[in-house]
Copies of this chain bind each other. A is one copy, B any other.
């Protein structure tokens, strides 16, 4: 569990894209951060108050979250100095970088000396059990996609926001690095050892109130040759009552696999539902979430209308239009 609120570290981000993680936190948890810390040469701006480490501590910050990718796969000396200053001022540090905080001796030494936490959210911090497949109380929703990186996380978070606004019981359950940094908790599923994947998802979505919904962050795709096993474990560990199909209509091939075409939404629906019903006979597909960011507005609207007709399900872009109609479709 990563303690909030955060100080968002933007470092010396060469451009806004390098600060994608910070962007996700700012977009989805605007109240999670007291401010941003930018070093010389930073070209990203989250529109938060610029703060020194000391100012952030005064404003109540508990953890410095690295919201930026590092250049060239190294944690630079400039960063290290800023991070040690943060530890000395009383902050923990959380990171989703490939280079682990725990592999930087100077950070480890300072954290040990000061009694601070270093959170490497790419690495599981728990010994997960093997899945037992038992039925749990409460409800679960999982977004599955025709491809990776297609809007599954955004769909789940957008639904959580609407549900909380309506006073419903809902929890977004993060399964990837950005999701974990957004929420402060979760399972880095792609780093879990094979035998424990489904068990990690069961651990993440335990028994709950009968009217509570876990909104589980999807990973990979059943149709993606590299990562389909992770998706499978999410379906069988998550035992979803409701599935959302996610799609990006302009994509010409599977991400990173130029020889593979995307499946149709019908194929995704049929196989996703069949596999979900192995562990939950009542599983149903309740809606379609489309990332229309690469489409003109009228074309996007015509496409969504056509999908609704074809599938008899609400089809929306939750980022552009909000997730209300997906929430309305929950059983």
Contacts and interface: CB of A to CB of B under 8 A. Distances in A.
Given A193-B191, A193-B192, A194-B192, A133 B259 contact: yes
Interface residues of A, number: 42
Contacts of A131: 225-226
Interface string A218-242: 0000111111111111011100000
A260 B239 CA distance: 13
A71 interface: no
Residue of A230, A235, A254, A260 with most partner-chain B CB within 10 A: A230
A133 B191 contact: no
A135 interface: yes
A191 B227 CA distance: 16
Contacts of A232: 222, 228-229, 231-232
9 contacts: A132-B226, A133-B257, A135-B259, A192-B194, A195-B227, A222-B232, A225-B237, A228-B278, A229-B229
Interface of A: 130-135, 189-195, 197-199, 222-233, 235-237, 254, 256-257, 259-260, 263, 271, 274-275, 278-279
B225 A195 contact: no
A225 B275 contact: no
A233 to B, nearest CB: 3
Contacts of A278: 222-223, 225, 228, 263
Contacts of A260: 133
Nearest to A257: B133
A45 to B, nearest CB: 32
A274 B228 CA distance: 13
Given A131-B226, A222-B275, 9 more contacts: A135-B259, A198-B229, A222-B232, A223-B278, A225-B236, A225-B278, A229-B230, A229-B233, A232-B232
